[in-house]
């Protein structure tokens, strides 16, 4: 039975939306008061119900109110309506007597609020969670029984069929790993606050292991039929949580996915409800119900893709959401490797700095404030590593635009950095000589790193372009040799100024004879075309020593310097900060 107890929420929409949806899914009768509304103060003062949920600080609509005054106001309301603060009481209010106000720390999240309201009987008591080890096959007979018994039946359809493209891109084993992770994630979400309930039935179609159904056992609200929009919000929340957990598993050694999986295709959740009609065959009703939910899931997949595209376009055109970090590149000749660890690599090897490579980063605070809560909740700034950004951009046909934006940010933000500036560029952008000239502007010492992520189909054209760029005093580097499409044939035809050896070739080279033999032969080939060799991703002293002993010209890696924003680098080098470009704050450390 659904409890018709009333919960009043008084906080910003961005914070209240998810909380409201979760509380409604557990039987709460929620009343939302928008603090930005013209009569917000009056509605708050006259609010009635069983509990009032608020934030710890006065909302924007009451700006200027000290924290202690806001809590005094809540204390007064608490005399007639229990008040629960979702978050920590401000330090400015310390020493006051607010023991009558219950506080749920922000770290406990929505789950903490649900548990508190369940314990007081405001929400439905928790149904004991079933321990489920596998997703069962769909049973139409059981669904017919439920429809006849309850008179109403609702289902959600989780459509993960787009995951099949992973088999082509990363191999069948990686595809199977991702599918297994989807099943584990769905089972883990079963009965969680904000997901589907413990008493709901999770099953899959017998003819398609990537289509899952959640058969809802009870209505989500006070009526038998879910209120308009209730199942849509539940489906979007389910999609967001599922995709968020899968994306966070990428690039995470403990995430359950292969390290090379950098893309999670779209997943969509549809929904449908049917009312029992004795005049219609019950089996036909169930089949139509499932097909309707499946069809709607396809529409949501399209919406997920469009949101990703909107996200990418927002990042591409924003000066506030992405910023370049820079990692130092050092000359190896004459470096005293015994000094490693004796201080900051920038300071210890300041006289060996060759230049810096630009590495784009999503600005965590700005992104989470502007995008995460309102646009695509399954992404956060930590997920959007450079490899993920470009994988998404390729999928959404925006790789060239993202590449151009990163290059522009890198050049604009590099003022004051010593030495050459190394920036990545896709081959198709490299061909646009005039556009490259405009982007590089008056910045001297630019090295264009031709990305390995695209195959070069016309080496004759590439040779012409490289000659034109060199006439503009731009250098060319072959990026990530030994990875992607980058091979010896490419080096011979490009004749770059620098060949960058990928981390996969350098990792453990001091104890791997096969890698050593390969490096030595490639060093000889690079010297024959007049190119310097850069060892990328060096993380151990032994790797650095082997590279130095065998004639590697340049070195880059965490052993010497982790990526930082320009302002931080200039402070370490005691360089006066110029007015060009924004001050980016602290760098997000990520894969170089």
For residues 411 and 138, which has the higher predicted lDDT (pLDDT)?
A: 411
Confirm whether 115 is domain-assigned.
Answer: yes
Is residue 56 assigned to a domain? Answer: yes
Is the residue at 169 inside a domain?
Answer: yes
Per residue in 169-215, pLDDT (tens digit) is 888 998 998 988 898 888 888 877 767 777 788 888 876 779 999 99
User: Does the pLDDT value for residue 490 go beyond 70?
Assistant: yes
Top-ranked range on mean pLDDT: pick from 255-264, 536-545, 579-588:
536-545
Q: What percent of the chain has pLDDT over 90?
A: 34
Look-up of token digits 């549809």: 270
83 and 157 part of one domain: no
Lowest mean pLDDT among 38-52, 454-468, 550-564: 454-468
Range of the domain at 246: 136-306
Is the domain of 288 the same as that of 224?
yes
Q: Determine contact, residues 550/523, Cβ cutoff 8 Å.
A: yes
**Pair (93, 148) in one structural domain:** no
99 and 142 co-located in one domain: no
Q: Tell me, what's the pLDDT at 188?
A: 83
Residues 348 and 486 reside in one and the same domain: yes
Which one has a higher pLDDT value, 486 or 32? 32
Q: Is residue 400 part of a domain?
A: no
pLDDT for the residue numbered 592: 37
DSSP letter at 551 equals: T
Q: Find, among 56, 53, 41, the residue nearest to 10 by Cα.
A: 53
- Assess whether 49 and 160 both reside in one domain: no
- 3-state secondary structure at position 498: strand
Same domain, 17 and 93: yes
On whether both 25 and 159 belong to a single domain, the answer is no
430-475: pLDDT as tens digits: 989 999 999 988 888 999 998 766 667 677 788 888 889 999 999 9
Tokens of 380: 């956060």
Q: What is the pLDDT of residue 128?
A: 41
Query: Is 320 contained in some domain?
Result: no
Q: Is the pLDDT of residue 254 over 70?
A: yes
What whole-number distance in Å separates Cα of residue 382 and Cα of residue 379?
Answer: 8
Count other C-beta atoms under 10 Å from residue 79's C-beta: 9
DSSP assignment letter at 351: G
Q: What is the DSSP letter of 592?
A: -
Q: Quick one: 489 exposed, middle or buried, by C-beta within 10 A (0-12, 13-18, 19+)?
A: exposed
DSSP state of 408: H
Q: Which residue has the tokens 């720390």?
A: 105
DSSP 226: P
Q: Look up the CATH number of the domain holding residue 169.
A: 3.30.70.270
Q: In the prediction, which pLDDT does 580 show?
A: 44
Residue 62 lies in a domain: yes
Q: Which of 449, 497, 443 is nearest to 470 (CA)?
A: 497
Residue 414 placed within a domain? no
Domain at 19, CATH number:
3.40.50.2300
Is the per-residue pLDDT at 267 higher than 50?
A: yes
> Each residue of 363-389: pLDDT tens digit?
887 887 776 554 455 676 778 888 889
Q: Choose one of 119, 149, 165: the last residue of a domain.
A: 119
- 19 contacts 29 by C-beta, under 8 angstroms: no
Strands (E), 455-542: 475-481, 498-501, 532-536
Angle between helices 399-412 and 386-395 (to 10 degrees): 140
Burial 132-144 (b: 16+ CB within 10 A, else e): eeebeebeeeebb
Which of the listed residues 59, 84, 119 is the one where a domain comes to its end? Answer: 119
What is the pLDDT, as a whole number, of residue 415?
A: 87
Q: How confident is the model at residue 588 (pLDDT cuts 50, 70, 90)?
A: very low
Tally of CA atoms within 13 A in the half-sphere of 135 that contains its CB: 27
Which residue, among 153, 135, 136, has the nearest Cα to 144 in the 3D structure?
153
Same domain, 110 and 217: no
Query: Would you say residue 522 has pLDDT above 90?
Result: no
Q: What is the pLDDT of residues 77-115, one digit of tens each?
A: 888 888 888 887 665 555 454 556 788 877 667 767 877
Same domain, 114 and 158: no
Same domain, yes or no: 343 and 291: no
Is the domain of 167 the same as that of 75?
Answer: no
Domain count, the chain: 3
Residue 375 domain-assigned (yes or no): no
Residue with tokens 């055109």: 317
């Amino acid at each position: 039975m659904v409890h018709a107890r009333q919960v009043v929420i008084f906080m910003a929409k961005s914070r209240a939306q998810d909380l409201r949806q979760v509380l409604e899914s557990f039987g709460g009768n929620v009343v939302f008061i928008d603090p930005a509304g013209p009569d917000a103060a009056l509605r708050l003062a006259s609010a009635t119900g069983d509990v009032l949920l608020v934030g710890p600080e006065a909302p924007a609509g009451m700006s200027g109110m000290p924290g202690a005054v806001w809590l005094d106001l809540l204390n007064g309301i608490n005399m007639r309506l229990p008040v629960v603060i979702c978050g920590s009481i401000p330090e400015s209010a310390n020493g006051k007597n607010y023991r009558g106000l219950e506080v749920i720390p922000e770290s406990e999240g929505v789950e903490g609020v649900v548990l508190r309201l369940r314990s007081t009987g405001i929400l439905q008591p928790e149904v004991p969670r079933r321990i489920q080890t596998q997703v069962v096959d769909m049973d139409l007979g059981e669904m017919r029984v439920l429809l006849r018994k309850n008179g109403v039946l609702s289902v959600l359809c989780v459509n993960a069929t787009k995951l099949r493209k992973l088999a082509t891109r990363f191999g069948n084993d990686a595809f199977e790993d991702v599918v297994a992770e989807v099943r584990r994630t769905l089972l883990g979400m079963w009965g969680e606050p904000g997901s589907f309930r413990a008493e709901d039935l999770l099953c899959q179609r017998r003819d398609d292991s990537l289509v899952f159904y959640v058969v809802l056992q009870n209505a989500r609200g006070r009526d038998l039929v879910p209120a308009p929009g209730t199942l849509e919000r539940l489906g979007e929340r389910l999609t967001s949580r599922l995709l968020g957990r899968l994306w966070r598993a990428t690039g995470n050694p403990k995430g359950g996915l292969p390290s090379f999986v950098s893309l999670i295709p779209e997943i969509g959740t549809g929904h449908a409800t049917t009312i029992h009609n004795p005049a219609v065959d019950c089996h036909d009703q169930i089949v139509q119900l499932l097909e309707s939910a499946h069809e709607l899931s396809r529409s949501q997949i399209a919406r997920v893709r469009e949101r990703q595209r909107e996200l990418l376009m927002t990042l591409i055109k924003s000066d506030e959401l992405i910023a370049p970090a820079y990692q130092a590149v050092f000359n190896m000749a004459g470096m005293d490797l015994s000094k490693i660890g004796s201080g900051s690599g920038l300071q210890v090897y300041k006289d060996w700095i060759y230049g810096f490579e630009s590495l784009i980063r999503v600005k965590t605070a700005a992104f989470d404030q502007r995008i995460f809560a309102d646009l695509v909740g399954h992404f956060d700034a930590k997920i959007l590593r450079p490899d993920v950004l470009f994988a998404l951009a390729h999928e959404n046909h925006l790789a060239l635009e993202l590449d151009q934006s990163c290059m522009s940010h890198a050049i604009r933000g590099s003022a004051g950095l010593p030495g050459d500036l190394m920036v990545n560029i896709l081959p198709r952008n490299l061909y646009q000589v005039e556009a490259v000239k405009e982007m590089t502007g008056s910045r001297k010492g630019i090295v264009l790193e031709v990305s390995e992520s695209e195959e070069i189909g016309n080496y004759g054209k590439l040779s012409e372009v490289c000659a034109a760029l060199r006439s503009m005093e731009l250098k060319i580097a072959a990026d990530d040799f030994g990875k992607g499409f980058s091979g010896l044939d490419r080096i011979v035809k490009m004749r770059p100024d620098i060949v960058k050896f990928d981390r996969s070739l350098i990792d453990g080279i001091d104890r791997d004879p096969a890698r050593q033999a390969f490096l030595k032969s490639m060093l000889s080939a690079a010297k024959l075309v007049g190119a310097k060799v850069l060892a990328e991703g060096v993380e151990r002293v032994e790797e650095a020593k082997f590279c130095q002993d065998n004639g590697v010209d340049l070195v880059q890696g965490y052993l010497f310097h982790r990526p930082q924003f320009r302002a931080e680098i200039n402070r370490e080098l005691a360089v006066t900060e110029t007015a060009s470009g924004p001050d980016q704050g602290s760098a997000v450390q990520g894969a170089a």
